[in-house]
Structures are given as C-alpha cells and as structure tokens.
C-alpha cells in the first residue's frame, strides 16, 4: 500500500513509497544549498552558482538513492541464492528495504545476506573515493565534488548499517550470532532487545544532534518490535498447515453484479471480502484457480459514493491481484505474504482447485487459540 512499481532489476520489482517522493525534493535542496565541510571537502553544492548547484544537487540525490537501491539488491541477490523469494525492493523516506519471503534461518546464511548490503555500500564508496582522489590530481569541479559526496555517504551508510541495532543489518548479523547458541525465537528476542536499547540511545542523542536521528530511532524501535512479534507468531504456527486455519466455506461474488447487490451479499454472508468470478459456479461445482478474476472487499465498496453503487459493477472496483497458496503450505509462511496483500486475503488451493480462504482475522484467531492450547508458548 502507498508503494508504486517503477521497474524491475534482475527480475525483482522496484517500488517507491509515497514518503520517498515527499523526501526527494528535501534531499535535492540539502545537496544544492549545502556547504558543510567534511574532511576538507564540502558535502553539497552550495558554493556553486545557480542553477548549477541544483543540477548537481539533483544528480547527487538520484545517484544516492541508486546506491541505496544497489545496497538492497545486494541483500536480495544473496537471499535468492539461498532459496528466498524477493517480493520487492521498496525505496522510502529513510532509504530502502528488501521484502524477502522465507528468509533463511541458518545463522551463516542470514549473516551473509545481512552483510552483503554494507559490502555493496563500501564497494561503491571505495570506487567513488578512488576516482575522486585520482581526478583531483588534474581536475576539480562538479564531478569530483559529486564523487566525494557519493563516496563519503556510502561509507557512512555502510558503517551505520553495521550498528547492532536490530532490524538493521548489524542487528541481523547479531541475531545470526545468537542463533548459533539459542533457538531462533530467543535469538530474535535478544537481538530485538539490543536494537531497542540502541534506538533509545539514538533518540536521546537526537535531541542534541538532529531530529532525523530521533525519527530513525523511532523506526528502529518499531521495526525491532514488529520483527520480534512476527518471529514469535511464526514459532506458534510452526508445523500448522494452511488447511488447518483456513475458512473452508468460500462465498463468491459475480463480477457483473452492482455494488448495491454486493452490499446485500455482504449483509447475508457476513464476510468482508469475496473472491470474484466472471460467472457464478453451479452449486457444488469445484472452482478452479483460473476462474477467479479478482477479490473485492468492504474497503473497495467504501471508495464508491452510495449514489453511484447502483450502476458500478464489482469488476470495476475489485483487486485483480489474487494470491493462491497450497493447502499443505505451513501457516507460518502465509503470515508475511498475507500482510503484503492489500486486500488481506489469500485463496487456499489443492490440485488447482480452490478449497478455502484465509484472512488476517483467520491467522490472528489461530494464533490466539494455539497460544491458549500451549499455555502462551512464545
């Protein structure tokens, strides 16, 4: 949600989050007007005449975020080598994030995945700084300034990401270390605790240094808490199949009914989301995956004003992105997937036939019951 695909690299979708589009002009302004010296060179183009300063500032901003993209691509390539599926790389206000599904829980593999991002940043930094020192022998100008800025920031980015502040790269390396001696859940709890402590210290430092540090600390704390909760959830669902948590009774909506008719269906069936078919199936007919053309939810209905719902058809508002998972898939594997789906539902299949549906509510109910069954096991 709020992310838009702009292309693909090595088959991996590249998306930009709305917050990235908001912060882009700010970075351009900072680089274009900046005149702070770092190790003898100015990090910015504030001393350049207008409009050259804004031209170079724009180039620096775009290349910086390309560097961040390459950093995340480093994670993704190694993760894919170990069998993980890469949902997307998303650029947002504080950089980028690789949405990796089924990430390896082997300590050595997780450490390699985590460290590859900083390695890429250090490599970019070394190349840029090497070119800078080589060129400044006989030339100084916008290009050398650009190389210095990119080299310096990439080195800082690499060092910062190696801080043991889970879920940053250094924190994931720390979890891999803990996982050599503890269960994955306990290793995550320990790494998350360290991450929260670092977030607390960063937040205090932010009051004296920069508000940006406070914001980063906030996101680190939230990220550590969410990762800890997700890992605990996966542990509770370990060994549970999707068929055990799904709703076997699936109610379908016809793509050509009006939204007023959909309201009636929702009132009687009492579900908030429905798979959509072009033609309603005959009673007791098995529904094949190829017959499902979309999913419509109460949220889609709310987007249309009441006075228009008599003429608008379901096919006009439904989501066409339908996710299927096999009934024998581990329920823990569905947790990450279902949170990435805007409609919050996936269809469960067996032999290319739809046998059930799973929503976020189904997952949460299963977690609550399993926690009760095992006395709150975490």
Q: Which of these three, 196, 212, 236, is where a domain ends?
A: 236
- Do 280 and 210 sit in the same domain of this protein? no
pLDDT at 150: 94
Strand partners, 37: 42
- Do 276 and 343 sit in the same domain of this protein? yes
Q: What gap in Å lies between CA 152 and CA 131, rounded to an integer?
A: 12
- Do 158 and 49 sit in the same domain of this protein? yes
- Do 288 and 335 sit in the same domain of this protein? yes
Nearest to 144 by CA among 65, 232, 40, 276: 40
Summarised one tens digit per residue, pLDDT across range 152-174 is 999 999 998 998 888 889 999 99
- Do 31 and 147 sit in the same domain of this protein? yes
Q: What gap in Å lies between CA 211 and CA 281, rounded to an integer?
A: 57
Extract the tokens encoding 306: 């009441």
Q: What gap in Å lies between CA 358 and CA 366, rounded to an integer?
A: 11
- Do 266 and 280 sit in the same domain of this protein? yes
Residue with token string 């089924």 = 102
Q: Which of these three, 212, 236, 260, is where a domain ends?
A: 236
Pairing verdict, β 253-254 and 95-101: unpaired
Extract the tokens encoding 213: 């540090």
- Do 150 and 172 sit in the same domain of this protein? yes
For the chain, the domain total comes to 2
Q: Which structural domain, as residue segments, surrounds residue 318?
A: 242-373
Question: Which CATH number is 255's domain given?
Answer: 3.10.580.10
Burial code (b: 16+ CB inside 10 Å, e: under 16) for 298-314 equals eebbeeeeeeebeebeb
- Do 187 and 314 sit in the same domain of this protein? no
Domain-embedded: residue 378 = no
pTM: 0.73
- Do 282 and 218 sit in the same domain of this protein? no
- Do 225 and 303 sit in the same domain of this protein? no
Domain-embedded: residue 38 = yes
pLDDT at 101: 73
Mean pLDDT by 10 residues, the chain (378 residues): 77 83 86 77 84 93 92 92 85 76 83 94 96 88 91 92 89 92 87 90 85 82 82 77 87 90 89 84 71 89 89 90 87 76 84 88 81 55
Pairing verdict, β 41-42 and 37-38: antiparallel
Strand partners, 233: none
DSSP H/E element including 254: strand 253-254
pLDDT at 376: 47
Summarised one tens digit per residue, pLDDT across range 271-294 is 888 999 987 655 556 788 888 898
- Do 221 and 333 sit in the same domain of this protein? no
Q: What gap in Å lies between CA 120 and CA 172, rounded to an integer?
A: 16
Q: 273, 343 in Cβ contact below 8 A?
A: yes
- Do 41 and 172 sit in the same domain of this protein? yes
Nearest to 45 by CA among 131, 149, 129: 149
């Amino acid at each position: 949600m709020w992310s838009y695909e702009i292309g693909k690299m090595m088959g991996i979708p590249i998306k930009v989050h709305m917050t990235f589009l908001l912060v882009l002009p700010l970075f351009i302004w900072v680089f274009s007007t900046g005149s702070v010296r770092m190790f003898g060179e100015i990090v910015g183009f504030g001393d350049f005449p207008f409009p050259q300063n804004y031209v170079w500032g724009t180039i620096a901003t775009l290349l910086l975020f390309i560097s961040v993209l390459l950093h995340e691509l480093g994670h993704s390539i190694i993760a894919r080598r170990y069998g993980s599926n890469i949902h997307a790389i998303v650029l947002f206000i504080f950089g980028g994030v690789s949405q990796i599904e089924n990430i390896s829980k082997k300590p050595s593999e997780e450490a390699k995945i985590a460290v590859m991002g900083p390695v890429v940043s250090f490599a970019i930094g070394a190349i840029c700084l090497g070119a800078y020192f080589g060129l400044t022998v006989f030339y100084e100008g916008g290009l050398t300034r650009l190389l210095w800025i990119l080299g310096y920031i990439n080195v800082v980015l690499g060092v910062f990401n190696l801080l043991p502040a889970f879920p940053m790269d250094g924190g994931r390396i720390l979890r891999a270390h803990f996982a050599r001696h503890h269960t994955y859940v306990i290793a995550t709890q320990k790494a998350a605790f360290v991450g929260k402590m670092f977030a607390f210290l960063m937040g205090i430092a932010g009051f004296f240094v920069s508000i940006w540090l406070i914001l980063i600390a906030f996101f680190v704390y939230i990220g550590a808490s969410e990762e800890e909760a997700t890992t605990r959830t996966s542990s509770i669902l370990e060994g549970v199949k999707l068929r055990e948590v799904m709703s076997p009774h699936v109610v379908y909506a016809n793509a050509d009914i009006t939204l007023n008719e959909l309201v009636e269906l929702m009132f009687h069936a009492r579900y908030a989301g429905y798979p959509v078919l072009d033609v309603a199936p005959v009673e007791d007919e098995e529904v094949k995956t190829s017959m499902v053309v979309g999913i419509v939810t109460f949220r889609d209905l709310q987007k249309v004003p009441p006075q228009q719902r008599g003429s608008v058809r379901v096919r006009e508002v439904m989501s066409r992105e339908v996710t299927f998972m096999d009934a024998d898939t581990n329920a823990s594997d569905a947790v990450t997937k279902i949170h990435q789906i805007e409609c919050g539902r996936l269809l469960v299949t067996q032999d290319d036939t739809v046998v059930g549906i799973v929503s976020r509510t189904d997952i949460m109910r299963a977690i609550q019951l399993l926690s009760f069954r095992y006395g709150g096991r975490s």
